[in-house]
Amino acid sequence: MSARPKAYVRIVGCLFLIASSPALAPKAAPQSPATSLTGSAVLDDWGNRFTSLGASLPENAQRTQIRTTIAQLAMFDAVNAVLDGPYRPFASKPPSAAGASPEAAAIRAAYIVARNEFPTKTAAIDSAYSASIALVPASASAIADGIAVGEAAGYAALAARVADHRNDPELAGYTPGSGPGVWVPTPPAFASPQGPFLQFVTPFGYDDPARFRPHAPPALDSKTYTADYNEIKDVGRATDTNRTADQSATASFWSPSATALWTANIRALASSMDLLNAARFEALGLAAVTNSVIACWDAKFTYTFWRPVTAIQAGDTDGNDATDADPAWTPFIVTPVHPEYPSAHTTIGAAALGLYTVWFGTDEFPLAFKGNGGAIRYYTSVAEIHADEGNARIWGGMHWRNSVEVGAAVGSRVGKYTATHLLKRLDD
């Protein structure tokens, strides 16, 4: 369980909602702090709009995550160009007039990406753009100059992602399987798997989705699998379990989407930074999270390993005399709709933490994390968070222990690689 230190930095995932305004043409915005849009709030305003646009279609949230990452990188390129930052761009560093508004540049870059990614939502996007640009506290000329930079950055970022497979059909690459050890649709919905296409998406900062593929999951007659089976059969079941109340609370705390949880935490950390650092941190953070999803789905659909709910109900078919079947077994938390190995939650969390470790130069730092229902837990080290998030997936009955450990190892490699190979300093 996580420690609750007396002294800590309060870093909590949060969302920013910006009021609407009808003006679309660039103009000077009101100067009242209550009606201006500056700093990292610009990045979050548009990052969260992408989430809302994806949900309104609706589409796979992981597909929206890829689109959002493109927008975050475009916004970084725009801000980096206007402020003449000392960093390599993702796709471009357009020339910028002196005094151009970096906020206007970021807004326009996100707007260009949004119009391309959500072509059926142009009215809503135009309205959002009008509201955002009207809240930039700068002169009309500064806003116009920023818009020119942002437009170039947005189109360049989109050009860099042509043919990246983000728009492939949802079930591309999936062939139904059967038999011991093989993933099949799980109760209660018995739905088709979520997003097999993700295994083919080009990552951000490197080209091969399989670059970080782990070794195969353990054999069904191995000591590792046997130990994992019997552990989760007890503590991960819905009822008649030895799971403690605190363990149940931990499973529930970490139960929402890992991409949503960690994206919110990344944005919260960036909220105390200046605009250039915030733009870079959020772009790297979302790229690390998205790259970890791609790496995880590459492994999931390479190995298509079965979930505990399937394995335990069919334990008499696995050829292992030490894994007794329980046909009535159900998990404490409903099983996600995709193969088991490795754990997506720990892969994604470790990727974000890999970035944090590189950025802050240490793997021990205070962190407040907002989970399910707005509850907050306080941590002091990467290892502590890994343990809590990993145990949560076991106590929830969704993942074998080996899978959460492998996921954390893969995610850490992905996050650190992304942090050290993308948006690097020009002198690095």
pLDDT digits (tens, 9 = 90+) for 128-178: 999 999 999 999 999 999 999 999 999 999 999 999 999 999 999 999 999
Specify whether the CB–CB gap between 250 and 391 falls below 8 A: yes
pLDDT digits (tens, 9 = 90+) for 239-265: 999 999 999 999 999 999 999 999 999
Confidence category of residue 35, pLDDT binned at 50, 70, 90 = confident
> Which residues in 265-285 are b (16+ Cβ under 10 Å) and which e?
bbbbbbbeeebbbbbbbbbbb
CA-wise closest residue to 21 among 136, 178, 105: 136
Continuous segment of H or E residues that includes residue 202: none
Continuous segment of H or E residues that includes residue 353: helix 344-360
> Which residues in 40-52 are b (16+ Cβ under 10 Å) and which e?
bbbbbbbbbbbbe
Confidence category of residue 15, pLDDT binned at 50, 70, 90 = very low
pLDDT digits (tens, 9 = 90+) for 204-253: 999 999 999 999 999 999 999 999 999 999 999 999 999 999 999 999 99
Domains of the chain by start residue, with CATH: 33-160 (no CATH), 196-421 (1.10.606.20)
pLDDT of residue 16 exceeding 60: no
> What does the alpha-carbon distance between residue 352 and residue 259 come to, in Å, rounded to a whole number?
10
> What does the alpha-carbon distance between residue 191 and residue 356 come to, in Å, rounded to a whole number?
35
Q: Establish whether the linkage from the previous residue to 308 is cis, with ω within 30° of 0.
A: no
